[in-house]
Amino acid sequence: AQSVTQLDSQVPVFEEAPVELRCNYSSSVSVYLFWYVQYPNQGLQLLLKYLSGSTLVESINGFEAEFNKSQTSFHLRKPSVHISDTAEYFCAVSETGGSYIPTFGRGTSLIVHP
Amino acid sequence: DTGVSQNPRHKITKRGQNVTFRCDPISEHNRLYWYRQTLGQGPEFLTYFQNEAQLEKSRLLSDRFSAERPKGSFSTLEIQRTEQGDSAMYLCASSQRVGGGSDTQYFGPGTRLTVL
């Protein structure tokens, strides 16, 4: 069975600073990986996903994540954050084959200070 | 495309009462998922439908929980004899699954249940 560990429950940063949100997964088979973002009082929105091909995936708002199979990681990065990036970020993994139901991590709260 | 909608957004009930939540998926989506999210946790899978068929249920879904998706459109999640431990955010998501492989889930805003 798959599992996800988000190592940081909260990450405070100053505006325009770089940030990395860490995600490690465990699975015995090939996986798909996702990052979702949840703004206050809203539902989860897909930020980016890795299905196959290039291990570096990017979102439209400047985030990127790199699939590292040897380290079983899928860390999320942004070179310069904005106040509006303040939100909860969830990493998720689903195993290829079967129902593809994702397992979510506990979430990391990104808090951007002015 | 108005996105996934859920009603009500908030529900406060007394222990032992029954509650029902509704989810309206994106109209062309054939899959519909229910998740539960408690404070400080990520969403936990409860059940999902492909069209009107309920294909998988989590062990979290006790016999007090029942979900339906008549005609493969909207879905309802009912909790009977609510307990304080049922207090959580209940999330619905939908997706369009074509063939094999992963599909992108689109989430609704959730229904927050408080059991007193």
DSSP assignments along A19-51, one per residue: EEE--EEE-SS-EEEEEEEE-TTS-EEEEEEE-
Residue B14 C-alpha, separation from nearest chain A C-alpha, in angstroms: 24
Give the C-alpha separation, B69 to B4, whole Å: 15
- Cβ-based contacts of A96 with chain B (< 8 Å): 101-102
Nearest to B107 among A4, A44, A94 (CB): A44
Give the residue from chain B lying closest to A89, CA to CA: B42
pLDDT at B102: 67
Q: Which of residues 40-79 of A touch B (CB under 8 A)?
A: 41-46, 49, 51
pLDDT digits (tens, 9 = 90+) for A59-109: 888 999 999 999 999 999 999 999 999 999 999 998 887 677 889 999 999
- Splitting chain B (116 residues) into consecutive groups of 10 residues, what average pLDDT does each group show? 89 97 94 93 93 87 92 94 96 84 84 96
Distance, CA of B79 to CA of B108 (rounded, Å): 19
